[in-house]
């Protein structure tokens, strides 16, 4: 009887740990995409301020690592900013709305 209680307690503890790790992993993915979006916006701002570079040229010169962090996984650089923000599948709610308004 006590063996079953110990086994039950272990199952509850293991399931709690599993849920916590799953939630942590999801939040880590959201944070990575958010950091990618911030890095892209900083890259864009720097190139506009320093070089007066047009947007198509900025999109061509942006490092692939930034695109990957945003969730954009295609080989060719995007043609419009909206393509990058549409690739950010983990971002939700208010942030998604702001990015959609920014990219119009």
Does residue 90 surpass a pLDDT of 90? no
Residues 6+ apart with CB under 8 A from 39: 66, 69
Here the tokens at position 94 are: 């208010």
How much is the pTM? 0.82
> Six-digit token pair at 102?
């920014």
The domain limits of the chain are 29-103
Among residues 89, 84, 93, the alpha carbon closest in space to that of 38 is found at: 84
- pLDDT tens readout for residues 21-65: 999 998 999 999 999 999 999 999 999 999 999 999 999 999 999
């Amino acid at each position: 009887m006590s063996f079953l209680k110990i086994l039950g307690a272990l199952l509850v503890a293991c399931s709690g740990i599993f849920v916590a790790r799953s939630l942590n992993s999801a939040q880590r993915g959201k944070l990575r995409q958010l950091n990618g979006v911030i890095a892209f916006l900083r890259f864009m701002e720097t190139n506009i301020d320093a070089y007066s570079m047009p947007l198509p040229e900025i999109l061509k010169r942006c490092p692939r690592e930034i695109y990957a962090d945003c969730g954009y996984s295609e080989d060719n650089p995007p043609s419009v900013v909206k393509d990058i923000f549409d690739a950010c599948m983990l971002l939700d709610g208010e942030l998604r709305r702001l990015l959609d308004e920014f990219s119009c």
